[in-house]
Amino acid sequence: MNLSRHEHYLAKAMNLKPGMRVLDVGCGIGGPAREIAAFTDAHITGVNNNDYQLQRARMHTKKAGLEHLVDFRKGDFMNLSETFGEAQFDAVYAIEATVHAPNFEGIYGEIFKVLKPGGVFGVYEWVMTDKYDASNPEHKKIAHGIELGDGIPEMRNYENARNALKKVGFQIDHEEDLADRELLGCLYAATTANRPLFSHR
């Protein structure tokens, strides 16, 4: 129920509606995709590079009777535009997935490409807050523990995420630190692609 609340919050903040075409980046076995599809009646496509997880995602989706709203594709999230083509989705979201990318600019740039002009990107991201001090041994220990526990190559900070979103062309509409709520270290940033920035297509 706790996870569902966060998925519903993300869907409402992104204003997902019936009939919208939405991409779930790094979908795992599809739990959020099913929850958000059932909550919004939007059509969710999950992308993942792991065959076993995709097999389980399809099995659980069929069991839930949501095959008409949820489908899955195998693909590398650093090459989304090759997998799907450009300007294909009304919205894209990622839940604690893009932190596994080699860098934020690369993955956010691919997300920007597959979004339609005016499309919305929402993300729950593991980042260190602006209070993080790399010279503080305790802070470094905490960051390293998260890296090991979640298989993250490196913990990056808020500023890194903010700058990457802006660099690839997003306008940040909202961000908040959910440490004050229940998800320590997560960032939610709902961003809207600025139409003029799509004019190069």
| CATH code, residues 2-195 | 3.40.50.150
| Lowest mean per-residue pLDDT among 68-72, 75-79, 144-148 | 144-148
Q: Residue 128 pLDDT more than 70? A: yes
Report helix angle 51-63 to 31-40, nearest 10.
40
- Output the six-digit token pair for 45: 């496509």
Report the pLDDT value the prediction gives residue 3, as an integer from 0 to 100.
65
CA angle 136–100–112, rounded 5-degree value:
115
pTM comes to 0.85
What is the C-alpha separation between 72 and 50, in angstroms, rounded?
A: 11
pLDDT in tens, 162-198: 899 999 999 888 887 766 654 433 443 333 332 222 2
Closest CA to 72 of 52, 91, 87, 90: 52
CA angle 25–29–30, rounded 5-degree value:
60
